């Protein structure tokens, strides 16, 4: 768990450095080696690591638009994920998804750039597991800014009424972009949302990875044993702006300081020391994590950019093996067309239109 | 005509034909299931799932809470997990409640994942007016769904087509939006015109997507349409044949994505005249798209163009108002005459 958290933290630090290359001194969101928006999750590591450690490859995770720490905890291929974030051909999604839309079917990981909208598909994955009589579970991660969304509340209800093996994990970092939590809800403890839907709600305060571990162990076990969904809200802290380039003019200075003070990683290190892990042991973990991150970033940067004509592929599934050619009369919209438009990299605009 | 003569004279309503295809696919594949509002005990408000509960039980024919975002999105999740859900959105007008799941997840996940994730689900929904249910329950919205990339869009006009297209929809590895017109379903409380009840073979058969069907051959003018208005166009064509001696060809698109441009263009090359009839809004819709495709493919053959569609107003309630905006047989006949 500690190694996963340290890996995620180092990964975010390195992405930040790479992202800013070419975007200074004048900030241009589409410039540099990493295009588009970048939402970092430094300060959220305890929730991803504490929950996903209880999951297997066959379990499904849907993450929100701040997904890296969850992806790393779920075991998403780090090199291909990094290549995707750099917009490369060998990325997880061939450069068509980007950092908010990472898909790794090998470990059943998906994410969405739209607030709370990963919740219904997680319910569907749980529905599939129940229909197939497996003990697989699904976990939907979302931010506290999403707990007023219909998609989330409807999902709690549907999961509850059908006793589906889902765990909803709300990461409460107090901020929905520039909107402080107290200005969007009068409910301090978001896990109370569970009360209206007949499922258990648990809140874990103080960025405590071990407490997340315990709460998730119970919730995942409950789901796996066929006893239905659970809502967990985890207090985390946002150590950076909402997105890279966010000047955070709305945020009080002491809030930034507080996020740093309550950091979950030194807290877990202290817990581990108390349990007899010495500093050399912790340093060894850190070194290993840093090397893994460096390797992924170096590999990603060496990967080729996708060919412009690939923009016209993958709107639909490929034909099944052994399928006949489509009838000549039918024009396959969205598929490959030899006379289709060509998009050159220079014509692309910077933002992918994801949720800001 | 694609109507099969070997159907042994067994006529079905469109809803029975759809249910027959769904039931067959459910028997063949345990991963196929149906989910939606009132699809189990009620059998679907428009009869689209009638009788399935008795054979397949509640695990595979699931009534769900009235919360379209969650259950349409759950369909996406189940499809991504490898199942083949058929999800009913009761009225297409309700798409606004759950559009994010439809066009940001269902339609885009295959592309955004670089093809590593498939979403083999059918989103089945009722469209159309002509029964005075006003602006929130009478829209057709073909253009909205066909405009957004990543989903296939199917619009049957007969029982024969409805069954073959449904078999294909369930077997397809992509999200398919299957839009059935309420007035074609053969419901006791909403009488259908004569056309949609057709001979339907008992055995399964598949109608590929992207193949328009020439429902009536003619030499003088091409009418391109779909859904309910295939039958209105056929009626107008028969009338004009008697009264004006105009020989009208009626092309039924059957699928909007993929679109069979070739059949449309070939027909216009033959007749030189094009009328497009659509129950959707006029602006930025099917009529504009078809005219554009014909202009791209057969500009020099094109002598006249007419469009018949809902003028850009919400669907009104009162009978004379709705009749004024919904293209009728006479509107179509007038448009055909106007191309001469």
% pLDDT > 70, chain A:
89
B33 in A contact zone (CB under 8 Å): yes
CA distances to A43, A204, A266, A267, B22 from A255, rounded to whole Å, are: 13, 19, 18, 18, 57
Instruction: Give the pLDDT band (50/70/90) at residue B150.
Output: very high
Is the Cβ of A158 closer than 8 Å to some Cβ of chain B? yes
Q: What is the dihedral of CA B124, B125, B128, B130, to 10 degrees?
A: 110
pLDDT value of residue B13: 97
Which residue from A62, A103, A157 is facing B116, i.e. has the nearest CB?
Answer: A103
Is A2 marked active-site? Answer: no
Of residues A340 and B332, the one with the higher pLDDT is B332
Q: What is the mean pLDDT of chain B?
A: 96
Q: Give the span between the Cα atoms of B26 and B31, in whole angstroms.
A: 8
Cβ neighbour number for residue A271 with a 10 Å cutoff: 14
* Confidence label for B77 from pLDDT (cuts 50, 70 and 90): very high
Q: Token digits for A63?
A: 């993450």
CA distance B84 to chain A (A): 10
pLDDT digits (tens, 9 = 90+) for B230-239: 999 999 999 9
Give the pLDDT confidence of B8-51 residue by residue, as tens digits. 579 999 999 999 999 999 999 999 999 999 999 999 999 999 99
CB A115 within 8 A of CB A142: yes
Q: Which of A39, A68, A237, A242 is catalytic?
A: A242
* For B71, nearest residue in chain A (alpha carbons): A120
Please indicate whether residue A213 is annotated as part of the active site. Answer: no
Cβ contacts of residue A201 below 8 Å, gap of 6+?
Answer: A191, A192, A193, A194, A195, A230, A231, A232, A233
Interchain contact A35–B (C-beta under 8 A): no
Residues of B in contact with A94 (CB under 8 A): 114-115
- CB neighbours of residue B49 within 10 Å: 27
Query: A212, A46 in Cβ contact below 8 A?
Result: yes
Is A255:A192 a contact under the CB 8 Å cutoff? no
> Helix, strand or coil for residue B289?
helix
Beta bridge partners of B126: B91, B180
Tell me what pLDDT residue A319 has.
Answer: 60
Tokens representing residue A277 in the block: 């892990």
* pLDDT value of residue B5: 46
State yes or no: pLDDT of B217 exceeds 50. Answer: yes
| Cis previous bond, B258, omega within 30 | yes
For residue B1, give the nearest of B237, B165, B213, B154 by alpha carbon: B213
What pLDDT score was predicted for residue A23?
84
A91 touches chain B (CB under 8 A): yes
Whole-angstrom Cα distance, residue A250 to residue B163?
58
Q: Which residues in chain B (56-85) have CB-CB distances under 8 A to chain A?
A: 59-60, 62, 64-65, 67, 69-83, 85
Spell out the residues 6+ positions from residue A61 whose beta carbon is closer than 8 angstroms to its own: A52, A55, A70, A74, A107, A108, A109, A110, A122, A138, A139, A140, A141
Q: Residue B100: its chain A contacts at CB < 8 A?
A: 114, 117, 151
- Give the best residue of A330, A331, A341, A353 to mutate against chain B (max B CB count within 10 A): A330
Give the model's pLDDT for residue A345. Answer: 34
Q: Distance from A254 to chain B by nearest Cα, in Å?
A: 37
pLDDT at B8: 59
Q: Give the model's pLDDT for residue A318.
A: 79
Whether A316 and B76 lie within 8 Å, measured CB to CB? no
Separation CA B225–CA B214 (nearest Å): 10
Interface of B with A in 215-254 (CB under 8 A): none
Partner residue facing B117 (CB), from A105, A120, A162: A105
Spatial CB neighbours of A155, under 8 Å, sequence gap ≥ 6: A119, A120, A122, A123, A140, A166, A168, B70, B73, B74
d(CA A212, CA A232): 9
Mean pLDDT of B280-299: 97
Confidence at residue A347, expressed as pLDDT on a 0 to 100 scale: 36
Which residue in A110, A113, A158 is closest to B65 by CB distance?
Answer: A158
Residue B105 near residue A111, CB atoms below 8 Å: no
Instruction: Give the per-residue pLDDT at A99.
Output: 96
Q: Which residues contact B237 (CB under 8 A, 6 or more apart)?
A: B216, B218, B223, B248, B250, B336
DSSP string, A20-45: HTTS-SS--TT-SSS-S-----TT-H
Question: In this predicted model, what pLDDT tens digit does every residue of B161-212 receive, in sequence order?
Answer: 999 999 999 999 999 999 999 999 999 999 999 899 999 999 999 999 999 9
Catalytic residue among A56, A162, A250, A348: A250
Query: Does B69 sit within 8 Å of A120, measured CB to CB?
Result: yes
- Rounded mean pLDDT, B57-69: 97
Give the strand order in the sheet containing B248-252: B213-216, B248-252, B221-225, B273-281, B304-310
Look at residue A343 in the predicted model and tell me its pLDDT.
36
CB atoms within 10 A of CB B109: 25
- ipTM, 2 dp: 0.90
- The pLDDT assigned to A339 comes to 37
At A354 the pLDDT is 36
Active site amino acids of B? 137
Q: Which of B332, B220, B338, B340 is nearest to B270 (CA)?
A: B220
3-state secondary structure of A65: coil
Q: In this predicted structure, which of A231-245, B76-90, B224-238, B286-300 has the lowest mean pLDDT?
A: A231-245
Residues of chain A contacting B70 with CB distance shorter than 8 Å? 119-120, 123, 151, 154-155, 157-158
Whether residue B338 contacts residue B276, with contact meaning beta carbons closer than 8 Å, is answered with no
Q: Output the pLDDT for position B180.
A: 98
Catalytic residue, candidates A238, A251, A286, A292: A238
Report the predicted TM-score, pTM, of the whole model to 2 decimal places. 0.90
Please list the ranges in chain A whose pLDDT falls under 70.
319-356
């Amino acid at each position: 768990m500690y190694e996963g958290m340290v890996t995620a933290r180092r990964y975010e630090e390195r992405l930040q450095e790479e992202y800013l290359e070419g975007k200074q001194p004048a900030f241009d969101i589409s410039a540099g080696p990493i295009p588009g928006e970048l939402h970092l999750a430094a300060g959220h590591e305890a929730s991803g690591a504490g929950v996903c450690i209880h999951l297997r490859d066959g379990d499904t995770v849907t993450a929100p638009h701040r997904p890296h720490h969850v992806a790393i905890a779920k075991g998403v291929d780090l090199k291909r994920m990094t290549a995707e974030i750099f917009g490369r051909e060998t990325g997880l999604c061939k450069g068509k998804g980007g950092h908010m839309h990472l898909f790794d079917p090998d470990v059943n990981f998906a994410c969405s750039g739209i607030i709370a909208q990963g919740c219904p598909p997680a319910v569907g994955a749980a529905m599939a597991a129940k229909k197939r009589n497996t003990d697989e579970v699904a976990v939907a991660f979302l931010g506290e800014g999403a707990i007023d969304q219909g998609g989330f509340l409807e999902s709690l209800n549907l999961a509850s009424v059908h006793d589906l093996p889902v765990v909803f994990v709300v990461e409460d970092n107090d901020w929905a972009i520039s909107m402080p939590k107290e200005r969007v809800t009068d409910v301090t403890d978001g896990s109370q949302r569970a009360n209206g839907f007949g499922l258990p709600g648990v809140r874990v305060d103080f960025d405590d990875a071990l407490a997340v571990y315990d709460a998730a162990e119970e919730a995942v076990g409950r789901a796996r044993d066929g006893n239905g969904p659970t809502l967990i809200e985890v207090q985390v802290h946002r150590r950076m702006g909402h997105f890279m380039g966010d000047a955070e003019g709305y945020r009080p200075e002491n809030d930034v300081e507080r996020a740093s003070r309550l950091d979950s990683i030194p807290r877990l290190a202290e817990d581990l020391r108390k349990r007899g892990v010495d500093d050399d042991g912790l340093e060894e973990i850190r070194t290993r994590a840093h090397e893994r991150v460096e390797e992924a970033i170096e590999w990603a940067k060496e990967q080729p950019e996708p060919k412009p004509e690939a923009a016209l592929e993958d709107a639909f599934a490929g034909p099944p093996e052994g399928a006949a050619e489509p009838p000549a009369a039918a024009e396959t919209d969205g598929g490959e067309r030899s006379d289709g438009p060509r998009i050159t990299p220079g014509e692309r605009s910077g933002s992918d239109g994801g949720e800001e | 005509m694609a109507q099969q003569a070997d159907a042994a004279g067994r006529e079905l309503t469109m809803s029975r034909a759809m249910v027959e295809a769904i039931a067959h696919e459910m028997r063949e594949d345990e991963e196929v299931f149906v989910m939606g509002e009132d699809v189990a005990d009620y059998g679907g408000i428009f009869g689209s799932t009638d009788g399935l509960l008795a054979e397949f039980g509640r695990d595979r024919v699931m009534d769900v809470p009235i919360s379209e975002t969650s259950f349409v999105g759950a369909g996406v999740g189940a499809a991504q997990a490898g199942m083949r859900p058929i999800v009913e959105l009761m009225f297409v007008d309700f798409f606004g409640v759950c559009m994010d799941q439809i066009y940001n997840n269902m339609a885009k996940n295959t592309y955004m994942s670089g093809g590593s994730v498939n979403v083999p689900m059918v989103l089945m929904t009722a469209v159309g007016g002509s029964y005075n249910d006003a602006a929130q329950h009478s829209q057709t919205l073909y253009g909205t769904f066909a405009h957004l990339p990543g989903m296939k869009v199917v619009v049957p006009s007969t029982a024969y087509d409805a069954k073959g297209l449904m078999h294909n929809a369930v077997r397809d590895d992509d999200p398919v939006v299957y839009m059935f017109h309420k007035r074609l379903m053969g419901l006791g409380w909403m009488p259908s015109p004569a056309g949609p009840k057709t001979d339907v073979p008992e055995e399964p058969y598949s109608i590929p997507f992207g193949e328009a069907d020439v429902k009536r051959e003619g030499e003088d003018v091409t009418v391109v349409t779909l859904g309910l208005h295939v039958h209105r166009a056929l009626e107008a064509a028969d009338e004009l044949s008697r009264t004006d001696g105009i020989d009208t060809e009626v092309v039924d698109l059957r699928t909007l994505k993929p679109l069979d441009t070739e059949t449309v263009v070939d027909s216009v090359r033959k007749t030189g005249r094009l009328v497009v009839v659509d129950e959707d809004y006029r602006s930025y819709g099917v009529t504009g798209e078809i005219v554009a495709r014909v202009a791209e493919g057969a500009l020099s053959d094109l002598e006249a163009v007419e469009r018949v569609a809902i003028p850009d107003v919400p669907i009104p309630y009162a009978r004379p108002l709705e009749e004024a905006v919904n293209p009728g047989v006479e509107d179509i006949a007038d448009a055909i005459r106007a191309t001469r």
